[in-house]
Amino acid sequence: MLGDDTLLGAQPSDASVQRKVQVLNAWPLLLSLAQVCAYLDLSPATFRKVCPVPAVALGVAVARWNRNQIDEWVNTLPPEKQAARRGEAVPARPYDVATEAAEARRTAAVQKIRDRQNARHER
C-alpha cells in the first residue's frame, strides 16, 4: 500500500504517504470478523478457510484478529500468477491439508454406509 505510487513511476509525496498512513490507522488494531473480512475483501467462509492467523480471544464469543499479523500474513502470500508464469509450483495453501482431511473423512463415511448396505443385502 505504501509503495503504490512508486509502482506507477511516481515518487511518493509526503502528503501521499501521510494519507495512506491515515487510511491504515482508520482500521482498529484488533478487527472483528466482519471488519477483517471487509479489510481483506473476503467472505467470512473464505477468510476462515485461508487465513492461518489465530484470533485473539477477548472473552466468551468475542474474537478479534490482530491487523498487524493479518498484514504480515498477506505480505507472505506469493503472487500465484507470477509463480505459475515462471513455471514454479505454487505452494499449497494452509487449508489444503484440512480440505484433504475432510475429503478423506467423507470418503470413509460413504464407504462405511455402503458396507452396511451390502451387509444388509447379504442377509
Q: How far apart are CA 113 and CA 87, in angstroms?
A: 42
Question: Is residue 40 assigned to a domain?
Answer: no
Question: Is residue 104 assigned to a domain?
Answer: yes
Condensed to tens digits (0 to 9), the pLDDT of residues 57-116 reads 888 889 999 999 999 998 888 776 555 555 555 555 555 556 677 778 888 888 888 888
Grid cell listed for 54: 489465530
Domain count, the chain: 1
Question: If you ran DSSP here, which 8-state letter would residue 29 be given?
Answer: S
Question: Is residue 112 assigned to a domain?
Answer: yes
Question: Is residue 32 assigned to a domain?
Answer: no
Condensed to tens digits (0 to 9), the pLDDT of residues 14-64 reads 777 676 666 666 788 899 999 999 999 999 999 999 999 999 988 888 999
Question: Is residue 65 assigned to a domain?
Answer: no
Question: Is residue 44 assigned to a domain?
Answer: no
Amino acid at 12: P
Q: How far apart are CA 63 and CA 77, in angstroms?
A: 24
Write out the residue range of the structural domain in which residue 108 sits.
92-123
Question: Is residue 103 assigned to a domain?
Answer: yes
